[in-house]
Amino acid sequence: MIDPHVHLRDWDQAEKETLGHGMEVAFRCKIDELFDMPNTNPPLTTEAAIRKRLKDAAHASQDVRYHLWAGVTSDLKQVEEVASLAKTLFPSVIGLKLFAGHSTGNMGLVDEAMQRTVYQTLAKVGYEGMVAVHCEKESLLKSDLEDAHDFSSHSLARPVEAEVASVFDQIQFSEEAGFKGHLHICHLSSIEALRGIEEAKRNHRRISCAVTPHHALLTTEDAKDRSLYAKMNPPLRSETQRSSLFAALLQGRVDWIETDHAPHTLVDKEAGACGIPGFSGLLLLVKQLIEHGASPALLTQLLGGRILQVARLEEREISIPSYDQLSDLSLAASLAYPYDSFSKLRLR
């Protein structure tokens, strides 16, 4: 299986996870290809950092195919340089990542004029690869509704409207800029945003989207249980949103599943850090999709087939664990981390 959205930490965050640990756990879960995100510390925004990360990953595991997303910043020269580097180092550098809202790592480009300029710059230099986007519109966030003692309040502070508006912004800004590349919308948490992406597809845009295990399986009700530490960006949503996204997966309306695997220490989570380990949840989601009638062909597309097409990687077999293996593998994966947001679901 392929997981195209992970945060493997390491370097100045090695206490959260190392490349070796994350890749080992992934491989035990039958995930043999990973796309790592750039909000590391230091971030993957320079040629030196990117080349060092690729070298470190090669030393960390011989079992897992490793790629990374290079981060873009507000420095337009850096955008040009990293776009050129993505061409040179493809497929090791699988594409670019734009944070259209702040999240872990504080790499957000929240100014809309700057977002437009990034797409204009990419169009000017002829970049036609992938740009993955974290969509949350900063001006629609409501930080005053955040209650540090109630993780479910995170969904009030970062409402659905912020995601939907940002998705529509990215579609509009990239089109107006003449961007010829592929736009990927990360970790959808709302069915309304999916409808906007489907409209863009009907208009022949190069665009894709993904759903995470936590947005397909968990809700704000789960976030009320503090022991699950179920706080992430974008947040968990209502049962209506969750069930709609799960149905969309079964209907083949979503391009792929991505975990947004993002481990922290227990101390960090107690302090409100956003992000949860995702490999355990991925296996539980596959199990539930099978129980709801997902065909082998659909699962193959969701867990690697479509990613290979969009990323323009060489076609290969996507191997998915058997139904009987999924629960045991998920439990084993959860034991690799100091907390498990999917534990309640496993007992249902």
CA 89 – CA 138 distance, rounded (Å) = 32
Say if CB 135 and CB 189 are below 8 A apart. Answer: no
Nearest CA to 311 out of 68, 39, 22 is that of 68
CA 107 – CA 265 distance, rounded (Å) = 21
136-154 burial, b at 16+ Cβ within 10 Å, e below that, comes to bbbebbeeeebeeeebbbb
Say if CB 279 and CB 26 are below 8 A apart. Answer: yes
Taking each helix axis as running N to C, give the angle between helix 19-28 and helix 323-334, from 0 to 180 degrees, rounded to the nearest 10: 160
Q: Is 169 a catalytic residue?
A: no
CA 39 – CA 56 distance, rounded (Å) = 16
Nearest CA to 310 out of 255, 249, 251, 248 is that of 255
Q: Report the SS3 class of residue 75.
A: coil
CA 136 – CA 38 distance, rounded (Å) = 18
Say if CB 143 and CB 136 are below 8 A apart. Answer: no
CA 217 – CA 215 distance, rounded (Å) = 6
Q: Report the SS3 class of residue 183.
A: strand
Nearest CA to 334 out of 321, 346, 322, 348 is that of 346
For β-strands 93-99 and 130-134, DSSP reports them as parallel
Catalytic residue among 3, 32, 36, 260: 260
**Which spans in 8-148 are helix H?**
19-28, 47-60, 76-89, 112-124
* Residue reference for tokens 């640990």: 21
Catalytic residue numbers? 260
